[in-house]
Amino acid sequence: MARVLTPRAEDFPRWYQDLIAKAQLADNGPVRGTMVIRPAGYAIWERMQAEMDNRIKAAGAENAYFPLFIPENYLKREAEHVEGFSPELAVVTHGGGKPLAEPIVVRPTSETVIGEFMAKWVDSYRDLPLLLNQWANVVRWELRPRIFLRTSEFLWQEGHTAHADEADARAYARRILHEVYEDMMVNVLGIPVVVGRKTARERFAGATSTYTLEGMMGDGKALQLGTSHELGQNFAKAFDITYSAATGGMEHAWTTSWGTSTRMLGGLIMTHGDDNGLRVPPRLAPIQAYVMVVKAGDGVAEAAAKLRDALRDAGVRVALDERVDTPFGRRAVDAELKGYPVRVEVGPRDLAAGNAVVVRRTDGSKTPVPVADTVGAVLAALDADQQALHDEALALRQSRTVEVATLAEALEAAATGWARVPWSAVGVEGEAEANGQGVTVRCLVRADGSVPDSEDEPDLIAILARSY
């Protein structure tokens, strides 16, 4: 088969760009750093949204929508927040044909404006917790943009909650981290993330704790796939989110925020993609089974349509490709690029023998199956390949993760994968030194893999890596 993409081993970043272009997932937008998400890419994003939204609602949060435009002074009220975001802001200075009295920023995130409204809506402890989420676009000016990974505009969900006390806020930030995000990443995206705590240096601007989910990409680098933050009382104090406590007296609330974005599309590609294109885990895939008429022939189109209907009736997301005037090879290459989990090829020769051919994207296997057994074979393949993709990614992560004892060894290991090193052997100074060499502490975890409450706990493991 002709080479369709630059092989990953030859040039991973180039392979990534090639795949996005040839699978028609996205294009660069006309304003530097922006992107156009094409239908094939957006369909995957819609499935991500649906799965994530279900989980967010199950965790009790309600969707709302806050404005794109934020008065510049809002950003300034929380000192670390403004410092963190100032270099990345897009500023609107003219509206309706006139200069504006006060500049407006395009939201880089919505803690400030949501804080303002939480202050209005919360009166008493009975109004807490207040659990909000929004699906929105945000803007952070990017000097080195890369589609899905770093774009000046991206799509995301951002959750914002207010609680009566620190324990409740912490429990909720952790609930989102594990029940919503980790479950989504592992069981839908098939990405075996490491869940941990960011160091102070890597924390979100204005947070007291930042939790993260880190995935290893196909080139051994790390990608942050989602974060959940405890904001302490920082934003509650900046925006005066107070409530009358059950015991009397006014208290400041404790807030959290948490987000995942179109960056997940980049993580999906770099975790599961191979040299033939994307591989989409079946549970996520907008099209799980792609029924192809190989070429015209007696009863072929009818048999393919019947299979499409039978698969749909069995609950499979299915599409039918009967474009027999386009060469089959080209359509098959395109189906591989787009990563449909299973192809069902229906052609005159196999059909004469009573068979369709089930082609699995994950391992490339092609199996002739009696037409009557095809639905069962597809369902079995979808089940098996969800697990297979996850396990393949886990095996890669394990093979490229090294346990080391010193910073020097960790920096060496980070050239090709991840290093696990005692945090006590790195520390704040070691972290700065690593940063100077393009390596970051992705997160801190406990020896048993659980998430620390503080970076000062004894015996923590730091995971060091290069990252996107």
Q: In angstroms, rounded to a whole number, what is the distance separating the alpha carbons of residues 118 and 141? A: 27
The secondary element (H helix, E strand) that includes residue 113 is helix 111-121
Let me know the angle formed at the C-alpha of 52 by 125 and 207, rounded to the nearest 5 degrees: 50
Is 36 a binder of its own copies (CB under 8 A)? yes
* Contacts of 243 by beta carbon, 8 Å cutoff, 6+ apart: 122, 123, 124, 125, 127, 128, 164, 250, 251, 253
Task: Pick the closer one to its own copies by CB: 40 or 414.
Answer: 40
Identify the DSSP state of 381.
H
Task: Pick the closer one to its own copies by CB: 7 or 71.
Answer: 71
Q: In angstroms, rounded to a whole number, what is the distance separating the alpha carbons of residues 375 and 310? A: 7
Using alpha carbons, select from 193, 158, 345 the residue that is nearest to residue 268: 193
In angstroms, the Cα distances linking 401 to 86, 415, 436 are: 36, 11, 21
Task: Pick the closer one to its own copies by CB: 27 or 183.
Answer: 27
Using alpha carbons, select from 273, 268, 302 the residue that is nearest to residue 283: 268
Q: In angstroms, rounded to a whole number, what is the distance separating the alpha carbons of residues 180 and 436? A: 34
- Considering only CA atoms, give the Rg of the chain: 25
Is 27 a binder of its own copies (CB under 8 A)? yes
Give the interface segment with its own copies, choosing from 3-11, 109-117, 205-213, 219-227 (CB under 8 A).
109-117
Least distance in angstroms from the C-beta of 84 to its own copies: 13
Is 65 a binder of its own copies (CB under 8 A)? yes
Number of chain positions touching its own copies (CB under 8 A): 54
Tell me the per-residue interface mask from 67 to 106 with its own copies, x by CB under 8 A, - otherwise.
xxxxx--x-----------xxxxxxxxxxxx-----xx-x
Instruction: List the beta bridge partners of residue 160.
Output: 132, 257
Residue 334 carries which side chain, given as an amino acid letter?
A: D
Task: Pick the closer one to its own copies by CB: 94 or 366.
Answer: 94
Is 14 a binder of its own copies (CB under 8 A)? no
3-class SS letters over 334-372 = HHHHHCCCEEEEECHHHHHCCEEEEEECCCCCEEEEEHH
Residues 377-406 close enough to bind its own copies by CB under 8 A: none
Is 156 a binder of its own copies (CB under 8 A)? no
Give the interface segment with its own copies, choosing from 65-73, 218-226, 293-301, 335-343 (CB under 8 A).
65-73
Using alpha carbons, select from 355, 381, 386, 378 the residue that is nearest to residue 308: 378
Tell me the per-residue interface mask from 328 to 367 with its own copies, x by CB under 8 A, - otherwise.
----------------------------------------
Task: Pick the closer one to its own copies by CB: 143 or 428.
Answer: 143
The two three-digit tokens of residue 368, written as one number: 């002739």
Instruction: List the beta bridge partners of residue 257.
Output: 160, 229
Using alpha carbons, select from 156, 158, 227, 162 the residue that is nearest to residue 197: 227
Task: Pick the closer one to its own copies by CB: 164 or 465.
Answer: 164
Is 30 a binder of its own copies (CB under 8 A)? yes
Out of 22, 38, 77, 150, point to the residue binding its own copies (CB under 8 A).
38
Least distance in angstroms from the C-beta of 244 to its own copies: 16
Least distance in angstroms from the C-beta of 150 to its own copies: 13
Is 180 a binder of its own copies (CB under 8 A)? no
In the sheet that 153-163 helps form, which strands lie side by side, from edge to edge? Answer: 62-63, 130-139, 153-163, 254-261, 222-230, 209-216, 194-197, 440-445, 461-465, 418-422, 401-403
The secondary element (H helix, E strand) that includes residue 19 is helix 12-22
Least distance in angstroms from the C-beta of 123 to its own copies: 13
Task: Pick the closer one to its own copies by CB: 92 or 310.
Answer: 92
Is 153 a binder of its own copies (CB under 8 A)? yes
Give the interface segment with its own copies, choosing from 129-137, 191-199, 217-225, 370-378 (CB under 8 A).
129-137
Out of 1, 2, 3, 31, point to the residue binding its own copies (CB under 8 A).
31
Task: Pick the closer one to its own copies by CB: 9 or 143.
Answer: 143
Contact (Cβ atoms closer than 8 angstroms) between residue 85 and residue 52: no
Is 216 a binder of its own copies (CB under 8 A)? no
The secondary element (H helix, E strand) that includes residue 255 is strand 254-261
Give the interface segment with its own copies, choosing from 56-64, 191-199, 232-240, 443-451 (CB under 8 A).
56-64
Task: Pick the closer one to its own copies by CB: 3 or 144.
Answer: 144
Out of 125, 141, 156, 328, point to the residue binding its own copies (CB under 8 A).
141
Is 327 a binder of its own copies (CB under 8 A)? no
Out of 19, 35, 351, 407, point to the residue binding its own copies (CB under 8 A).
35
Binding site for its own copies (CB under 8 A): 27, 29-31, 34-39, 42-43, 45-46, 62-71, 74, 86-97, 103-104, 106, 113, 116-117, 120, 132, 136-137, 139, 141-143, 152-153, 155
